[in-house]
Chain A
Amino acid sequence: MLRYFLTRLAGAVPTLFVIVTIAFFLIRAAPGGPFDQEQTLPPEIMANLQSAYGLDLPIWNQYGRYLGALVHGDFGPSFKYKDFSVTELIGQGFPVTLELGSIAMALALILGIPIGTFAALNHNRVADYATMSLAVVGIAIPSFVVLPFLGLAFGIYLRWLPVAGWEPGSIRHLVLPVVALALPPLSVIARLTRANMLEVLRSHFIRTAFAKGLPLHTVILRHALRPTLLPVASYLAPAVASIMTGSLVVESIAGLPGIGRYMVQGALNRDYTLVLGMVIIYSTLLILMGLVVDLLYAWLDPRVRLVR
């Protein structure tokens, strides 16, 4: 198990390398540079700035220097936030984003799976139709619409929760962003679970389990749930991607000091190192998620062998 894990981790390095390389040259291909907005700068100062950040070197040279620093865990200095290194910026914001995202993901799983199961057990009855109608709403309406609406209802009219803002350790500030972020993956998971549960409930081994006289909850939890969750597990990686994407806007609406804003701002400002740092963080997260999915698969279905 451990060996498998390590092999896979090692396998992720070339993937990351390719992603970093593509991103590096893509962002450099963009017109303009990090100091364009400071047009008033005299040419000499501009040249000084350029050489201070090594931007006057040939691009291959810059690429080599960047990779060299990266190997030592140094993401380089930010071009825009001049007093900060990218490592510091991401180090400050990432815990907030991670907290927001992981609570949303957990919520989506903890609620989505039971809701889907409940709907399947009430197949073609009112409870099924009701939950699946709600799921369509959850899938259809994006988080950047849901969050302001929630803010309006619970923050401005009811005054139960803060509309925006952030205090370290405060749960109240996280409630609305987490709900807005969790809703789409929650709905997808509920739908997936329902559809697969219906299929699994028709299978022969479930008939055997019922014939053994096991109570319904044992049949569902011990016999039906694990095969039902296989497709849900393969949805996890897209779910993480969707939560990452959602957090870009949710953080900005809710005024959370996460790293979501750095992606768009960094790209618009040509803050090369910041963008690359973000790409590396997000890619690593996704690669790790893929690994988690594989391990989950092996647990859910013993016929799957972990070989590479």
Chain B
Amino acid sequence: MSGLFDDAARRLRSNPGALCAMFIILSMVALTLIGPWFNPNGGEALDWSHVASQPALQSAHWFGTDRLGRDLFARTLQGTRVSLAVGLVASAVSLLVGIGYGGVAGYVGGRTDHVMMRIIEILSGLPLIFFVIFLTVIFGRNEYLLFLSIGAVGWLTMARIVRGQTLSIRQREFIEAAVASGAGTARIIAKHVIPNVIGPVIVYATLTVPQIIMFESFLSFLGLGIQEPRASLGTLIAEGAGEMEAAPWILLVPGGFLAVLLLCLNIFGDGLRDALDVKER
């Protein structure tokens, strides 16, 4: 087990792209956490003397301001923080649901597995956005429900991966030995199955985070996600897209942040997949 991770760490270290991406992600996280202390402007403060002003280092607003005179840097950092938080929380939800569902399907097998996988097949054939639109409409635009509903639709791939891994591991000798020695199902899943599916799960969790951030931004862009005056990168981009001709920086700053963040998360996830040697399915 530790040997696997030592190997993976060594391979990851020899992948400059993934390292670089990891460094950028960490810097962005740090920036969203400590940035506000270096910036005199709050995210929601209105500066009526600088409405939609251009980015300039010597002015009070490094990245410019939006239509209402709010500091774009502060807004973008706040938006990034929200997007990252949604990404992590919703990924955690999808991770838990996916591991539970996939683990049970793969471990129990037979008819149960067949039915459970059929459900996943049907669900993944549908455009999930419609579900989330329905959910948001029914339950109102509540941020916590947003986390849940995004996480609830992100677990399908995870469940499939976990099930595949569990199925192949179930047939190996050490599980048979555990069964023979009288260990219960729950104990076998916890002690033997989960430690062995951890590699692919880590990889897919890493790759789920950018997908969920993208999805949340998409919903916020449509006005279904985070609501004013709070902002996520999606709402900021929607705002910027409307002002594109007159004040392109309102689009470019959050758009650039989102693009770089998603790109780095994807590159890091791909690097991790190569390092842990997980086959793409």
Contacts and interface: CB of A to CB of B under 8 A. Distances in A.
Contacts of B252: 149, 152
Most buried by A among B127, B218, B248: B127
A145 B234 CA distance: 9
A149 B127 CA distance: 26
Interface in B87-134: 124-130, 133-134
Interface stretch (B27-35, B41-49, B161-169, B220-228): B220-228
Interface stretch (A22-30, A50-58, A91-99, A220-228): A22-30
Given A30-B138, A144-B237, A249-B221, A156 B266 contact: no
Interface stretch (A67-75, A263-271, A299-307): A263-271
A8 to B, nearest CB: 14
A122 interface: no
B127 A282 contact: yes
Interface residues of B, number: 41
B138 A26 contact: yes
Contact of B137 (A141, A151, A267): A267
Given A137-B263, A139-B266, A282-B127, A144 B221 contact: yes
B272 interface: no
A286 B244 contact: no
Interface in A135-159: 136-137, 139-142, 144-145, 148-149, 151-152, 156
A136 B259 CA distance: 11
Nearest to A195: B280
Interface residues on A, range: 35 or more
Nearest to B270: A136
A267 B133 CA distance: 7
Main secondary structure of the interface of A (DSSP, over half): helix
Contact of A27 (B137, B214, B222, B251): B137
Contacts of B258: 141-142, 145
Contacts, number: 103
A245 B124 CA distance: 14
B159 interface: no
A244 interface: yes
A140 B263 contact: yes
Given A244-B127, A249-B222, 18 more contacts: A26-B138, A136-B266, A137-B263, A140-B262, A141-B259, A141-B262, A142-B214, A144-B218, A144-B221, A144-B237, A145-B255, A148-B240, A152-B251, A245-B129, A245-B218, A248-B129, A263-B130, A264-B133
Nearest to B245: A156
Contacts of B134: 23, 26-27, 30, 267
B222 A248 contact: yes
Ranked 7 nearest A-B pairs via Cβ? A140-B266, A241-B127, A140-B262, A140-B263, A30-B138, A148-B241, A267-B137
A148 B126 contact: no
22 contacts: A23-B134, A30-B134, A136-B263, A136-B266, A136-B267, A137-B263, A140-B262, A140-B263, A141-B262, A144-B221, A145-B258, A145-B259, A148-B251, A148-B255, A156-B244, A163-B244, A237-B125, A244-B129, A245-B218, A249-B218, A267-B137, A268-B223
